[in-house]
Amino acid sequence: MSSCFHRLLLVPLLGLCLNAGSAPLDEPLKPLPAVPKQNPLRVELGRQLFNEPRLSVNGSLSCASCHRLENGGADNKPFSIGFAGLPVAFNTPSVFNASLNFRQFWNGRADTLEIQIHEVVQSPSEMGSNWQHVVQTLSADPAYQSKFGSAYPDGVTMNNVQNALATYERTLISANSRFDQYLQGDTDVLTLDEKYGYQRFKDYGCIACHQGVNIGANMFQKFGVMGDYFQVRGNPTETDLGRYLVTKDEEDRNVFKVPSLRNVAVTAPYFHDGSAKTLEDAVDVMFKFQLGRIPSEEDKTLIIKFLKTLTGEWGGKPL
């Protein structure tokens, strides 16, 4: 049976998904929510702190150094460079939609954005600072004294720095992807191939881990369900242990937070080790080691076309 004829046969089966006037109500993927209402003074303060290199011990590194909003909220390196000029241990995930993750960091060691911020500032490989130093530095700046005083009754404190940054990060929602428009009822916004790609994404089982509002980032999963990824890749590192480093539970060895696929087309390289240079490489690895299947070239192409519809906007422009 030709692939073209096979796809024609599928049209009646896909039905509402492809041609109806509104998207199905029970889709396993959900559109992004609106940006939550936040205190505007704290949002603006958080924005400034996000771009503030004095959060690092030597004034060389800000949050924005690695989480570049113009680069999909990450950077284009396998491993970002820390304050000392050395690479960090994990690939930098996107800050966009991070507030919707059920945990932060690849190994899920932080429950909240505030805890994530707390750790990064003190990390010996990232910012290398400490909170006493950060509070003293910001308190000595009259502009920050004034802005913290307006936003918080108790002024510059560790908790207020973390809260301001987290408040700003909660506004970093990459809305209005074409797929979100589709989920909200504009079924003509996607091409037929992109709709078939979504169907293949579900049929092959990608949806089992990448679902919900963030299309992932709501569960843990072993990297290498259907094969030993790390043996094939070679050169194992401590970070490959994943969640085991947090729990010391043998069942958590090589287990990681499932990443969000939002904006995946613009956030290469991929995985905790930054080993997949292209989206095509990443899809190949997922099929081999997570699904244990070999897709047709057509199906792989369709899925990649679908994944490219997940790119949202920031500041009124596509990422």
**pLDDT tens figures, 266-291:** 999 999 999 999 999 999 999 999 99
Q: Assess whether 280 carries a catalytic annotation.
A: no
Domain boundary among 146, 169, 192: 169
Clarify whether residues 107 and 191 are in a common domain.
no
What is the pLDDT averaged over residues 306-315?
Answer: 96
The model's confidence at residue 237, banded by pLDDT at 50, 70 and 90, is very high
Closest listed residue to residue 242, CA positions, set 83, 59, 108: 108
Clarify whether residues 147 and 50 are in a common domain.
yes
Asked if 219 contacts 102 with a C-beta cutoff of 8 angstroms, the reply is yes
Residue 35 within any structural domain of the chain: no
Residue 105 within any structural domain of the chain: yes
Domain with 287 in it: 3-30+175-318
Domain boundary among 139, 169, 199: 169
Domain boundary among 145, 169, 193: 169
Clarify whether residues 163 and 179 are in a common domain.
no
Clarify whether residues 68 and 163 are in a common domain.
yes
Clarify whether residues 56 and 112 are in a common domain.
yes
Asked if 107 contacts 256 with a C-beta cutoff of 8 angstroms, the reply is yes
Beta bridge partners of 220: 257
Clarify whether residues 165 and 183 are in a common domain.
no
Per annotation, catalytic residue among 44, 70, 119, 126: 126
Q: What is the mean pLDDT of the chain?
A: 93
For the segment 60-116, what is each residue's pLDDT rounded down to a tens digit?
999 999 999 998 999 999 999 999 999 999 999 999 999 999 999 999 999 999 999
Residue 55 within any structural domain of the chain: yes
Clarify whether residues 198 and 293 are in a common domain.
yes
Clarify whether residues 210 and 257 are in a common domain.
yes
In the predicted model, is pLDDT for residue 152 greater than 50? yes
Q: What is the count of structural domains for the chain?
A: 2
Give pLDDT, residue 113: 98
Give pLDDT, residue 136: 98
